[in-house]
Amino acid sequence: MMNLETPRKFAGLVQQAQQVATEIFRPNSRKYDRAEHRYPKELDVLAALLDGMTAAGGNSGAGAAGVRRDAVMEAGNRNGSNLSTVLGAMELCWGDVGLLLSMPRQGLGNSAIASVANEEQLARFKGRWAAMAITEPGCGSDSAAIRATAVLDGDDYVLNGEKIYVTAGERAELVVVWATLDKSKGRAAIKSFVVEKGTPGFELVRLEHKLGIRASDTAAFLLKDCRVPKANLLGDPEINVEKGFAGVMQTFDNTRPLVAAMAVGLTRACLEETRKLLTKAGVTVDYLKSTHTQTAAASEFLRMQADYEAARLLTLQAAWMADNRKPNSLQASMAKAKAGRVATEVALKCVELAGSLGYVEGESGFGLLEKWARDAKILDIFEGTQQIQLLIVARRLLGKTSAELK
């Protein structure tokens, strides 16, 4: 049975994350929001700390937590790397989402490697920063529509295609690229390949200017006859139509709770600052009274806090299930859908409640509400949009295939 209290062995990790968020992330939040595309040098000294935070939860092997179904399961409940990672992310994103996404060796590609790489690959890519490239100009939320191709030629795969919206794409050392081995075989032919930066035929095209998370770089790449060693294919090289998309999609079982955790951390930041503002304005929030007997502001705050708690618990559940080798695709999508929507709605409502104080730029406190409102939206988009998550949840609950329920 899942225990909802923070495990004692992670108390130090959470405290460290709180300290980083308070002393490094929050004070530099506005600085790198204004200095888009400039690498936050302050993060270099934190890289080893983040590695230690990940290692404290379990054997991730590649710098980020992973959902590994082939490991031997110990008796009883297990609180491992997935739970420790989401707990750390919640605290750090209370400080700044973009700065967390800029942390060396903590990219979404690292989660992909940790989830599906073999032991040799885990050792070879350990300690290296990996981004993940899925989205294409004609393929957004529907990952099965990927058109980038991979053709086996001797000891190499030759990759061709275009990838956009790659988080940390410029700064990372490796990029996990999704491509299809055979378009005619649909989802089952989609595989992921680790491409090292500097590989001939792998070209950085541009960096995007974004609404939020400006501390994090977002890149577009062109792959033109890019040769990648066979040993860099993650997972089974065989096309198994019966297994379908399960191999590469396993990555999302890990990364979606992580994004949900980011949303939970940002939501808490918004609520804490708004609570201070309400208290300063003389608004009393009474948890012992029904909402309809309180002021409109207090009633709205209680509703937002209830949504926050629901998102937090769903996120912890999805991570705990991954640590205990339980299928968590449904829970991962539920957590991502709930937390992403809550972060966006709460951030905007907090700006509304704060009025002019929430709408203008500032270095801290209420002055960051407008920034958090901009940062929040991406958490409802990347790693699968709100609409896609709800579609996945519906399919799981109704027992429908993707062909039956679109």
- Are 312 and 320 spatial neighbours (Cβ–Cβ below 8 Å)? no
Q: Which amino acid is at 130?
A: A
**Environment class of 87 (CB within 10 Å of its CB; exposed 0-12, middle 13-18, buried 19+):** buried
Residue 206's contacts (CB-CB under 8 Å, 6 or more residues apart) are 219, 220
Backbone angles phi, psi at 152, to 5 degrees: -70, 130
Q: Looking at the DSSP assignment, which residues form a beta bridge with residue 222?
A: 162, 203
Among the options 42, 91, 383, 404, which is catalytic?
Answer: 383
Q: Which of 302, 317, 308 is nearest to 344 (CA)?
A: 308
Does residue 74 carry a catalytic annotation?
Answer: no
How far apart (Å, rounded) are the C-alpha atoms in residues 382 and 170? 18
User: Among residues 339, 321, 345, 329, which one has the least CA distance to residue 382?
Assistant: 339
Contacts made by residues 379-382, CB under 8 angstroms, sequence distance 24+: 379/97, 379/259, 379/262, 379/263, 379/266, 379/339, 379/340, 379/343, 379/344, 380/263, 380/340, 380/341, 380/343, 380/344, 381/340, 382/165, 382/167, 382/259
Q: Which residue has the tokens 């399960």?
A: 246
> Reduced to 3 states, what is the DSSP secondary structure of residue 290?
coil
Provide the terminal-to-terminal Cα distance of the chain, rounded to the nearest Å.
34
The set of catalytic residues is: 383
